[in-house]
Structure 1
Amino acid sequence: MSVVPAVQDAVIRVADAYARPPERPDLFGELSTALQQGVPFDASAWFATDPHSLLPSAPGRVENLPASGWTSYWEAEFNDQDVLLFRDLAHSRVTADSLLRATDRNPERSPRYRGALTVAGFSDELRAVFRAGSVVWGVVSLLRGSSQPAFSPADCAVLQTAGPSIAAALRAQVAWTRPVSLHSPGLGTALFSPTGGLVALDAGATAWFHEIEGSHAGAPERRTGMATVDAVVAHANAVGNERARGPSFTRLRTQWGCWSVLSASPSRTPQGERGLTSLVIDRARPSQVAELLIEANCLTARERHIVQEIAHGYSNDEIGRRLGLSPNTVRDHLSSVFDKVRVTTRGELVALLFSERVFPSSP
């Protein structure tokens, strides 16, 4: 067996193991180790993504990348003039490709290459999105320096083929969450300049940054949590500069298991000039976490409607009348929902999907 099929199989085995309980802590670390055996790289950035905004979430893993380059890296991601953007791969038949191939071996066409990548000494980038059906659950950026050859079509094919398995593993990490009561920081607000620099933050934001990054919050070497903050702020700044659309938010499960929502919005001065960008961090509302869990557990449209009716307290007979279904059909759909989310009663279902806190399940 050649190296590429062997490493592809190894990556898929890692992903498949993480798609089954119990939950394990280092999916991206094991994927990175397996991939290096046949697709070597000098640096990498792996992120789970919010399936609704495609912005980075958690878990995340960054290897051999300088913290100072994240702002310009994400600014380039939201630049319509750049190539090989994650959002384009998300809607493409090709889910993994290299920068040199995408630019016909003229990487200077890419603002990302001219900025963050060149400054850090990289000559090629392989990007992939991890998509299950039409939903993206994660992304990766692999980077090689000038001493390495360009990424080959075979290298890209490894992640193209393994992508659905990795997406299934990331989706499973969300699907296995369970409600537990636990303290979390209150509402926090931080202000950023139009270029992404931190200007001010309150006590709540300070607490959340520590929650996101642990004891490393505020240290010179920022890790994956602050890269997520950079991405949300960069998207909001791009919206303010009319280079991007849509909400600038992501839902993030912190290292202690607390689900939070990071949401940013740009402002303008009374004279119409760009003002500061506000980042608000707070615990996720039950409905915001429920959206993720419903998506992660692959509920059908009909099953989602029935779950919503159950949350409002309707009986099977009432749900049937409201949705034009027989009681037996409602029971069949409800049985399917119970199997998918691994509960046995209506009370457990409502507690799981609409509780005040949602945390990882016990092994």
Structure 2
Amino acid sequence: MGSYGGVTRVGGIGDAAVRAAQSARSVEEFFEAVKRVVRPVLRFDVCACVTVDPQTLMNTGGDYRDGLPSAMMPRMLDIEYREGDANDLADLAARPTPVGLLSRETRGNLDLSPRYRDIMRPLGFRDELRVVLRDRHGAWGALVMGRTVDAPPFGFPELAVAASLVQPLGSALRRLHLTRLAEGNASGAAPGLVLLDGGHQVVHATPTVAMWFDELAHTDGVPHVDRGLPPALYAVAAAVQAAGAAASHTSWMHSRRHGRVRLHAWRLEDPTATSARTAVVVERAGPAEHIALIVAAYGLTPRERDITALVLRGRSTADISHSTGLSPHTVQDHLKAVFDKTGVRSRRDLVATFFARHYLPDMTPA
């Protein structure tokens, strides 16, 4: 790989992207800095920057300003979470190198991909490159890039650069998650309810919905799909409509105004009651959602997570030993690992740190 902006090696591009994004205080700023560095190298025509839940890989927001037209998002998410397609984020996230090119995933027959047939080809795009941003603690986001038919195809140099972005940007995005949890402000808004029909068009939305979605636009009091309803909402709604899916699903997203927001979707089974097919409740995320992201972002193992939760509840070493079936010595070993990862020295420090970083801000008026 040749030199770009002082970068003379492939891995250095990822390092340069991280340096550019270090001052970001929001996901939008983070991805804007990343795109500024990698655009001259990867030369994409569109780029959707996605954040995902490390536990479920569900869409939780991101930056779509350089992505596909908003009118295409419902169909995109329908394919992503209901129908399935090649170059799937969940499949890529499980690979040693989570980078995928749609043309390769379909072995050159792009017409096998509904995403290509229904979205990319009508818009004049030739291929799609996906990069999952992942570190050893989980997947935190993805870059979804496309080139038009007028541009040269993605090649080995671009794939090598994409692979170099995976770990450094994954770690940087994980740290940003922690920062956002620590700085999030409380919201006094009442929960909102959105009813969607089979095509994910809004049938009804309570007035409180507008308070949760900063970018939500309204016409005659009804929010419209093509006017900014967040992709994360469509993702959770599509999840309950997928074949064989559970009747309900819970996810979350980041709101610039309200911080972490819980999304809970239900599949409506009685078609005679209403034209709506899916109901989604939007409300402030509680401690359960916070702790799930916190332990993932700190890189705690499942056993360390369980012990941390017991410590936060005030349980003694003897109590934890009895509950988990571990010896007190093993419990202390796990606690030492937790202290090392979270940067504290004692149980008291651990409880105080979690409270100060991740709960006290939610108790402080915005």
**TM value normalised by structure 1:** 0.83
SS of aligned partner of 2:55: coil
Find the counterpart in structure 1 of residue 212 from structure 2. Answer: 208
Aligned to 1:178, which of 179, 182, 190? Answer: 182
Aligned to 1:28, which of 27, 31, 52? Answer: 31
Aligned to 2:126, which of 120, 123, 126? Answer: 123
C-alpha displacement of 1:325: 3.2
Counterparts of 2:10 and 2:55 in 1: how far apart (Å)? 31
Of 180-189 and 27-36, more deviation after overlay is shown by 180-189
What amino acid maps onto 2:259 in structure 1? Answer: C
Find the counterpart in structure 1 of residue 152 from structure 2. Answer: 149
Counterparts of 1:182 and 1:105 in 2: how far apart (Å)? 49
What amino acid maps onto 2:297 in structure 1? Answer: A
Does residue 258 in structure 1 map to residue 262 in structure 2? no
Which aligned pairs between 1:46-65 and structure 2 lie closer than 5 A?
Answer: 46-65=49-68
C-alpha displacement of 1:354: 7.7
Aligned to 2:236, which of 229, 232, 238? Answer: 232
CA contact (8 A) 1:289 1:358 kept: no
SS of aligned partner of 1:62: strand
Find the counterpart in structure 1 of residue 328 from structure 2. Answer: 326
C-alpha displacement of 1:279: 1.0
Counterparts of 1:42 and 1:181 in 2: how far apart (Å)? 36
CA contact (8 A) 2:252 2:262 kept: yes
Counterparts of 1:343 and 1:247 in 2: how far apart (Å)? 38
CA contact (8 A) 2:192 2:208 kept: yes
C-alpha displacement of 1:122: 1.4
Counterparts of 1:124 and 1:66 in 2: how far apart (Å)? 17
CA contact (8 A) 2:213 2:255 kept: no
RMSD: 3.3
Unaligned runs of at least 5 residues, structure 1: none
Greater RCO structure (CA 8 Å; 6+ sep)? 1
CA contact (8 A) 2:132 2:141 kept: yes
Of 36-45 and 133-142, more deviation after overlay is shown by 133-142
Aligned to 1:188, which of 178, 187, 192? Answer: 192
C-alpha displacement of 1:126: 0.7
Which aligned pairs between 1:127-142 and structure 2 lie closer than 5 A?
Answer: 127-133=130-136, 135-142=138-145
What amino acid maps onto 1:301 in structure 2? Answer: P
C-alpha displacement of 1:272: 11
C-alpha displacement of 1:52: 1.9
- Residues 179, 143 of structure 1: alpha-carbon distance in 2 compared, 3 angstrom cutoff: closer
Find the counterpart in structure 1 of residue 46 from structure 2. Answer: 43
CA contact (8 A) 1:188 1:280 kept: yes
- Residues 38, 179 of structure 1: alpha-carbon distance in 2 compared, 3 angstrom cutoff: closer
Aligned to 1:348, which of 340, 348, 352? Answer: 352
CA contact (8 A) 1:269 1:275 kept: no
Query: CA deviation digits over 1:45-101, x for unaligned, max 9?
Result: 011101122121144343052110001111121355621111221222341121122
C-alpha displacement of 1:277: 0.6
Find the counterpart in structure 2 of residue 285 from structure 1. Answer: 286
**TM value normalised by structure 2:** 0.83
Unaligned runs of at least 5 residues, structure 2: none
Which aligned pairs between 1:12-23 and structure 2 lie closer than 5 A?
Answer: 12-15=15-18, 18=21
Find the counterpart in structure 2 of residue 86 from structure 1. Answer: 89
Counterparts of 1:94 and 1:314 in 2: how far apart (Å)? 41
What amino acid maps onto 1:267 in structure 2? Answer: L
- Residues 82, 330 of structure 1: alpha-carbon distance in 2 compared, 3 angstrom cutoff: closer
Query: CA deviation digits over 1:288-344, x for unaligned, max 9?
Result: 2101101110113332232122122123454355554336x6555435434433456
Query: CA deviation digits over 1:163-222, x for unaligned, max 9?
Result: 111111111112233276623422111000111111110122222123xx2779958874
Counterparts of 1:336 and 1:7 in 2: how far apart (Å)? 33
Which aligned pairs between 1:102-113 and structure 2 lie closer than 5 A?
Answer: 102-113=105-116
- Residues 352, 55 of structure 1: alpha-carbon distance in 2 compared, 3 angstrom cutoff: farther
Counterparts of 1:322 and 1:79 in 2: how far apart (Å)? 40
- Residues 359, 94 of structure 1: alpha-carbon distance in 2 compared, 3 angstrom cutoff: farther
Of 155-164 and 67-76, more deviation after overlay is shown by 155-164
CA contact (8 A) 1:338 1:349 kept: no
SS of aligned partner of 2:310: helix
Query: CA deviation digits over 1:92-143, x for unaligned, max 9?
Result: 2341121122222221111111112222221211112122237221112101
CA contact (8 A) 1:11 1:162 kept: yes
CA contact (8 A) 2:186 2:258 kept: no
C-alpha displacement of 1:234: 2.5
Counterparts of 1:298 and 1:105 in 2: how far apart (Å)? 38
Of 170-179 and 157-166, more deviation after overlay is shown by 170-179
Structure 1 segments, 4+ long, off by >6 Å, are 214-217, 271-274
